[in-house]
Amino acid sequence: MSKKLFLVRHAKTEEGSSEKRDFDRVLTNRGLQDATRLGKYYNSKNAKPDQILSSDAARAFATAELIASQMGFELSRIHINHEIYEASVRTLFQLVNDLKDEWDSVMIVGHNPPINYLSEYLSGADIGHMNTGSCAVITFESDSWSEVSQDSGTLEEYVIAKNLEM
C-alpha cells in the first residue's frame, strides 16, 4: 500500500495592504483561474484525494474550494485547520504524521514558505520556490502516515497551474 500527498500553495492573491489583514486577502482573477485549472487537471487524472485539509485564510480556503469543486469533492468535507495558516514546517510535518491511515490520498492547501519546505523535506527534491497555484505530489511506500519522515517520499510531479493547458 502507498500514500499520496498533494501539497498545494494557494493561488495568486491580491497584494497586501495596510487596510486589509493578510488573513483576509482574496484570490485575483488569475488566482481563481489557476485554482480551477489545478482542479480540472487532477480531475482529468482521476486523482481525487480522500481528504482535503486547508488553511482557514481566505485565499487558501478559496483555492481548496475551487480545486475540490472541479474534482467533484464535496465542499462540506474540506477540513479547515487554523494551524496551517502560520504553521512551521514542524507543525505541518506533525499534521501529516497524524493523518488517518484510512486516507490513502490527502491534499493540504497552505502557504509558503512552509508548504515549500515541507515538500522538499519529505521528498529530498530541490523544488526551489513554489509558485502560487502550484502543487507538489509526493508518494510514500508506507501503510501509515506516522511512518512518513524526511526524504521518505518521492516527488511524483510538481505542477504550476498557469503552465497547464486546459
> At CA 67, angle to CA 79 and CA 166, rounded to 5?
170
Helix (H) or strand (E) holding 106: strand 105-110
Residues of the chain predicted below pLDDT 50: none
Query: Dihedral (C-alpha) 59, 63, 65, 70: value to the nearest 10 degrees?
Result: 160
Helix (H, G, I), strand (E, B) or coil at 137: strand
Which residues touch 54 (CB under 8 Å, ≥6 apart)?
60, 61, 63, 64, 78, 79, 80, 81, 84, 108, 109, 110
Contact 145, 105 (CB under 8 A): no
Per-residue pLDDT, 16? 74
Show the domains of the chain with their CATH numbers: 3-10+22-163 (3.40.50.1240)
Per-residue pLDDT, 146? 98
Per-residue pLDDT, 21? 83
Contact 49, 64 (CB under 8 A): no
Residues 139 and 70: their CA atoms lie apart, in Å, by 22
